[in-house]
Amino acid sequence: MNKTLFPDLIVNGETVPHADIAAETQNHTGPKGKPGIVWRKAAHALAVRALLLQEARRRGLKAACQELTPGRFETEEEALIRGLLEAEIDVATPSDDAVHDLWARDPDRFRAPPLWEVSHILVACDPRDETAREQARLRAENLAARATSGKEDFAALARDNSDCGSSANGGQLGQMTPGDAVPEFEAALRKMADREVSASPVLSRHGWHIIRLDAVAYGATLPYAAVKSQIAAAMEKTAWAQASRDFVGRLMAAAEITGLPERPE
């Protein structure tokens, strides 16, 4: 992508280097063949970051870097932004009535985690290697067609073709609960019916999976008392996110920004 096609991003007189925007693009996605959308998303993210840092420094805030994980600390800029948001945003704890009302709208949303019994066939590849990924996809699609034809035994296909160690057991992975599998695999499981085989291969960082849901036990609806604190925390998080968006919106409305295209959806 030719970065000279994009004007300099200037936030209240502070120029955001093109190199910083280019580095930020790795944190954003966009339609294939339209890198300009990713660039614009990255530019917006860095414009917001610049505004927050400018406001934190205007208020004279000092960075107090916290430890995020053992041995890993916030950067000074991360600490300043966190400190600013903590100082600006004060979200009230939702009332018991509000929490109960949200639960009562659809109690069935609050269930114990499902339990899946799963088998799969893995066609391993490095998804970052486009050639290897496409070659593996063709092989996986062929195996998926065979697995869903009803003419071949899934366990035999797994034993003969899977690149996973579970092939020795006919592809059986055993029982799984949410969080046990990579996100793409779990997302596919949540859409599948009992004894269903995925018609299309599912791509993860390990390669392409042909998944069979051998059995599923859906979690029971949880009583209000068991989910009250979880609902309250989710409501508070949602309110905090909205308040932070409103705060950023006020900063942007008051700022002088050039070189920032209209934000893509």
Dist. CA 72–CA 151, nearest whole Å = 54
The three-state (H, E, C) secondary structure of the chain, written as one string: CCHHHCCCEEECCEEECHHHHHHHHHHCCCCCCCHHHHHHHHHHHHHHHHHHHHHHHHCCCCCCCCEEECCEECCHHHHHHHHHHHHHCCCCCCCHHHHHHHHHHCHHHCECCCEEEEEEEEEECCCCCHHHHHHHHHHHHHHHHHHHCCCCCHHHHHHHHCCCHHHHHCCEEEEECCCCCCHHHHHHHHHCCCCCECCCCEEECCEEEEEEEEEEECCCECCHHHHHHHHHHHHHHHHHHHHHHHHHHHHHHHCCEECCCCCCC
Category of 54 on φ-ψ map: left (φ > 0), alpha (ψ -120 to 50) or beta: alpha
In contact, 231 and 103? CB cutoff 8 Å: yes
Structure tokens at 186: 């779990």
7-52 residue pLDDT tens:
889 999 999 999 999 999 999 888 877 878 899 999 999 999 999 9
Q: With a cut of 60, say whether residue 170 has pLDDT above it.
A: yes
In contact, 41 and 28? CB cutoff 8 Å: yes
Dist. CA 221–CA 235, nearest whole Å = 20
The residue with tokens 């799984």 is 176
Q: With a cut of 60, say whether residue 200 has pLDDT above it.
A: yes
Structure tokens at 253: 């409305």
In contact, 144 and 202? CB cutoff 8 Å: no
Dist. CA 122–CA 190, nearest whole Å = 19
Structural domain spans, the chain = 3-92+242-258, 115-217
138-165 residue pLDDT tens:
999 999 999 999 899 999 999 999 999 9
Confidence (pLDDT) at 33:
76
Closest CA to 247 of 85, 86, 81, 46: 85
Q: With a cut of 70, say whether residue 239 has pLDDT above it.
A: yes
Q: With a cut of 90, say whether residue 178 has pLDDT above it.
A: yes
Averaged pLDDT for residues 232-239:
97
91-148 residue pLDDT tens:
999 999 999 999 999 999 999 999 999 999 999 999 999 999 999 999 999 999 999 9
71-96 residue pLDDT tens:
899 999 999 999 999 999 999 999 99
Dist. CA 257–CA 47, nearest whole Å = 8
The architecture that CATH gives domain 115-217 is: Roll (3.10)
Per-residue pLDDT band at 2 (split at 50, 70, 90):
very low
The pTM (predicted TM-score) of the whole model is 0.67
Confidence (pLDDT) at 35:
79
Burial of 32 (0-12, 13-18, 19+ CB in 10 A): exposed
Q: With a cut of 90, say whether residue 202 has pLDDT above it.
A: yes
